[in-house]
Structure 1
């Protein structure tokens, strides 16, 4: 079998950041990487889940919401994937959108989105302070990120 494209990236060298993972026709996948290489530091379940609820909610309520296809965690817990429709949002706009929603999430005030048994199957591990801390870390990391930095090394 052919290897999955993301398995061809050397995860021992991959630094936290924002990367262009793939293009599938009009669908573009960005790789939002959090884990530091060779440390074993993964996001905890609560960190992943809390950041996911904040970012997914903000993306789907942004002015570019029609371009948003998916935002969710990687199974390996090293980051997230953001999929968008490139007919509605170009790459530079997507980078700016990711930067904006992470900055918004870092300062988010209010109730944690989707924190009830009716809205989420694992709502008990959602924590607003945890989600904001993860988003604050990533917002600072990518604050000056550009399209030119999207390539994997």
Structure 2
């Protein structure tokens, strides 16, 4: 079998950032999948499931309520390797196009206080696996390392 595209990215040189992972065509629509890489793969500790789960709940809630983008959000969720998340948007976009959206999303997470949306037994299949303080910490780290002043290395996959 052929290697899928995400397994051809040089993870040894990959930095935290916002990358176009792939573009798919569904009828006339383009779906752009973004790799929101929060940890340097194989060089930093991966995120634990509790904080990643909290990031998922908060980001998905924010994105699906953001007035300009909510109708374009197809999916937000964690990577299996726990070094980041995927964001799928309806439309043909580049990394630079969504940095402001991703920045606002992670600022929301970094500053969030209160009950985590959807963290109740009737709303979530594993509602107790949450860690808001660590999610906030990781959101602040991602903002500082990749989102506040992104460079080409944070927006384009390494060769």
Shared topology, TM-score over 0.5? Answer: yes
Of 106, 128, 139, the match for 1:124: 128
Check if 1:82 corresponds to 2:87. yes
Of 46, 50, 56, the match for 1:46: 50
Contact preservation (8 Å) 2:15, 2:154: no
Secondary structure of the corresponding residue to residue 128 of structure 2: helix
**Structure 1 residue ranges without an equivalent (≥5):** none
Contact preservation (8 Å) 1:95, 1:147: no
- TM-score norm. by structure 2 comes to 0.86
Secondary structure of the corresponding residue to residue 65 of structure 1: coil
Deviation at 1:144, TM superposition (A): 1.9
Q: Residue in 2 aligned with 1:73?
A: 78
RMSD of aligned C-alpha atoms?
1.9
Contact preservation (8 Å) 1:111, 1:128: no
Q: Which runs of structure 1 show a deviation greater than 3 angstroms over 4 or more consecutive aligned residues?
A: 90-93, 146-149
**Higher RCO (Cα < 8 Å, 6 or more apart):** 2
**Structure 2 residue ranges without an equivalent (≥5):** none
Q: 1:147 to 1:83 in 2, by over 3 A?
A: farther
Would you say how many aligned residue pairs link Structure 1 and Structure 2? 151
- Matches of 2:70 and 2:129 in 1, distance apart? 26
Secondary structure of the corresponding residue to residue 119 of structure 2: coil
- TM-score norm. by structure 1 comes to 0.89
Contact preservation (8 Å) 1:23, 1:29: yes
